[in-house]
Amino acid sequence: MGERQRVEKLFRRGREHEMRHEVAPARRYLDQALAEAAAAGFTDLVLSVHLTLGVVSHKADDLVAARPHLETALAMALEAGNAKMEAYARQELGFLLLGEGKPEAARTEFLRVLGLAPAVGIVNLTGNGLSGLGVALLALGRTKESIPFLLGALGIRTEIEDVEQQHLDLVHLAHAALLLGNGPVAARVVGLLTGSPETSSGLYAHDRRTFDTLVCELGAGPAAVGFDEARTLVASLAVK
């Protein structure tokens, strides 16, 4: 096996663990991949590993460790003129800024993601940009403005059958419902999410805090019967 193939294999293994939210083994493989890619001058791999290590650190709620990886990835993407990696790096920086309690700065990054996404041609970049923008607007107290963005994200995840990210979008749409005074919708959606083992899988710490707050405020109650009903319930928010 050639040197590049070996480094690519390390990266793939780390990425596989990251996608399963297995932080410790992901970091172990990715740290090794980064060291070897940097030593061999595989710049494209260095960029990809930095980006993924930023995601892994964020999943571990280590925002201090995540930031330099994501900033390095963004700088390298800009230098290389790689719009796809720029979009992914800005997306993850946006999520990081939400975790740091900086929604206005996060909003700026997600707007940039939405500007880049059509040319990149990856549908879920648009989904992530819409979702992040909606969450940022919620944090800024602009609840009604957030609804179309969150519903747009949910529509994309539904179309591409990304169940994990539908959980995320429904958490924030339930939050929006509660803020708009629609407790019954919020309660039924949260009831469904509470009973789903996949709810916490795709949530960063700031998303989990929102969900935990909703559970505490709403308590136990009747749950929506499946995701079709949950999507119908939150769609009603658009006409309020």
* Residue 97 shares a structural domain with residue 214: yes
Q: How far is the C-alpha of 219 from the C-alpha of 116, rounded, in Å?
A: 41
Torsion of CA 47, 49, 50, 56, to 10 degrees: 150
pLDDT of residue 240: 54
Long-range contacts of 81-86 (CB under 8 A, 24+ apart): 82/47, 83/116, 83/119, 83/120, 84/120, 84/122, 85/47, 85/48, 85/51, 86/116
- Say which range, 83-87, 149-153, 185-189, 216-220, has the weakest mean pLDDT: 216-220
* Residue 73 shares a structural domain with residue 158: no
- Tens-place pLDDT, residues 180-215: 999 999 999 999 999 888 888 889 999 999 999 999
H helix or E strand, kind and range, residue 168: helix 163-179
* Residue 97 shares a structural domain with residue 198: yes
pLDDT over threshold 70, residue 39: yes
pLDDT of residue 21: 92
The CATH number for 121's domain is: 1.25.40.10
* Residue 122 shares a structural domain with residue 230: yes
> Helix axis angle, 43-59 relative to 3-19, nearest 10°?
20
* Residue 116 shares a structural domain with residue 177: yes
pLDDT of residue 211: 95
Q: Are the beta carbons of 188 and 233 closer than 8 angstroms?
A: yes
What's the number of domains the chain is made of?
2
* Residue 109 shares a structural domain with residue 195: yes
Q: Which residues of 79-97 are buried (b: 16+ CB within 10 A; e: fewer)?
A: eeebbebbbbbbbbbbbbb
* Residue 146 shares a structural domain with residue 232: yes
Q: How far is the C-alpha of 200 from the C-alpha of 203, rounded, in Å?
A: 5
- Tens-place pLDDT, residues 82-135: 999 999 999 999 999 999 999 999 999 999 999 999 999 899 999 999 999 999
Residue that finishes a domain, picked among 30, 47, 81: 81
pLDDT over threshold 70, residue 1: no
Residue that finishes a domain, picked among 24, 58, 81: 81
pLDDT of residue 24: 96
Token pair recorded at residue 148: 């179309």
* Residue 122 shares a structural domain with residue 69: no
pLDDT over threshold 60, residue 138: yes
Instruction: Give the domain extent around 232.
Output: 83-239
* Residue 126 shares a structural domain with residue 46: no
Q: What percent of the chain has pLDDT over 90?
A: 91
* Residue 89 shares a structural domain with residue 56: no
Residues making up the chain, counted from first to last: 240
